């Protein structure tokens, strides 16, 4: 079944020599697949491993992975005051050159590269990944669960809207048969009858819309990356309904087409969240 692109998962554990480690993974809708990692200083080398781990389970959406490490009592933060002064001097000069009146904030300066460090921090190399990977997997599992849960809600909503489109189309089909028969009967000349039918016939649009509705119903039952394909189907539904509305010869049919177009737009809005 379809999945949402919105989700959240987290995990934490006490890891010897590291301290308390927390992992949060969240995702939002996005046209493509994009992963952003926020890692503590000294752990940036794990970014590609984390991205590959996430890519195994997620195919679309913007995913943010946040690590937090609360160091043990033997470790303490150090401030590189000389580097901080150099940052302050250089940035103040640039601020004056650009005519910026806003003063530099200490909170901004303290997070610049190299200003903060942890005394006694070890270089763990690739060994630490075997300890952190289970945490990433656990957070990722939570993310997938929430994406699946919201996907189920999206499925029910899209299924209901698709059924309403189907019912609306059937009402249009029946109304069209009645209207075209009545209007053609009032035209005596055969060539005028043919010309009228040719310019106002919406049978082709009805057939195409019915096909897209049935195809849409099949696709929302599938898992995997179907969001873009569903959006394409919705675009085709919108295009065919526009053509049908332009050729309409009856106020009731026109009203039904407007209602159908409104429903299709709501479907397209929902599809922005489908993986």
**pLDDT digits over 95-106, tens only?**
888 888 888 888
Weakest mean pLDDT among 15-24, 50-59, 235-244, 246-255? 15-24
What was the pLDDT predicted at 48?
95
Q: Look at residue 140 and tell me whether its pLDDT is greater than 90.
A: yes
Smallest Cα–Cα separation from 132: which of 68, 199, 211, 74? 68
What was the pLDDT predicted at 122?
53
pLDDT digits (tens, 9 = 90+) for 204-253: 999 999 999 999 999 999 988 999 999 999 999 999 999 999 999 999 99
What was the pLDDT predicted at 47?
95
Q: Look at residue 75 and tell me whether its pLDDT is greater than 60.
A: no
Beta bridge partners of 79: 116
Per-residue pLDDT band for 41 (boundaries 50, 70, 90) equals confident
Mean pLDDT rounded to a whole number for the chain: 91
pLDDT digits (tens, 9 = 90+) for 102-132: 888 887 888 788 887 765 555 555 678 989 9
Percent residues over pLDDT 70 in the chain: 94
Sequence-ordered list of residues with C-beta below 8 angstroms from that of 56, at least 6 positions apart, any chain: none
Residues 72, 249: Cα–Cα separation, whole Å: 77
> What mean pLDDT do residues 13-33 have?
92
Q: How far is CA 255 from CA 172, 179, 200, in A?
A: 10, 14, 16
Place of tokens 């957070």: 139
What was the pLDDT predicted at 34?
97
Global pTM value: 0.75
What was the pLDDT predicted at 70?
84
């Amino acid at each position: 079944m379809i999945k949402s692109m919105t989700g959240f998962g987290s995990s934490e554990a006490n890891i010897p020599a590291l301290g308390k480690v927390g992992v949060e993974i969240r995702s939002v809708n996005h046209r493509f697949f994009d992963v952003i990692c926020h890692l503590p200083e000294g752990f940036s080398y794990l970014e590609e491993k984390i991205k590959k781990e996430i890519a195994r389970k997620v195919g679309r959406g913007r995913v943010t992975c946040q690590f937090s490490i609360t160091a043990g009592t033997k470790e303490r933060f150090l401030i590189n005051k000389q580097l901080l002064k150099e940052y302050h001097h250089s940035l103040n000069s640039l601020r004056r050159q650009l005519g910026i009146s806003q003063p530099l904030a200490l909170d901004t300066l303290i997070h610049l590269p190299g200003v903060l460090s942890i005394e006694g921090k070890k270089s763990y190399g690739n060994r630490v990944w075997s300890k952190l990977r289970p945490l990433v997997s656990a957070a990722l599992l939570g993310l997938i669960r929430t994406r699946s849960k919201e996907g189920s809600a999206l499925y029910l909503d899209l299924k209901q809207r698709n059924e309403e489109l189907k019912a609306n189309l059937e009402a249009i089909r029946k109304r069209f048969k009645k209207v075209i028969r009545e209007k053609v009967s009032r035209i005596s000349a055969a060539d005028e009858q043919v010309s009228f039918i040719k310019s106002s016939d919406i049978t082709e649009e009805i057939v195409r819309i019915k096909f897209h509705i049935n195809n849409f119903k099949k696709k929302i039952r599938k898992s995997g990356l179907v969001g873009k394909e569903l959006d394409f189907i919705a675009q085709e539904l919108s295009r065919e309904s526009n053509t049908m509305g332009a050729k309409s010869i009856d106020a009731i049919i026109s009203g039904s087409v407007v209602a159908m177009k409104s429903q299709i737009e709501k479907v397209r809005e929902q599809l922005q969240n489908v993986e």
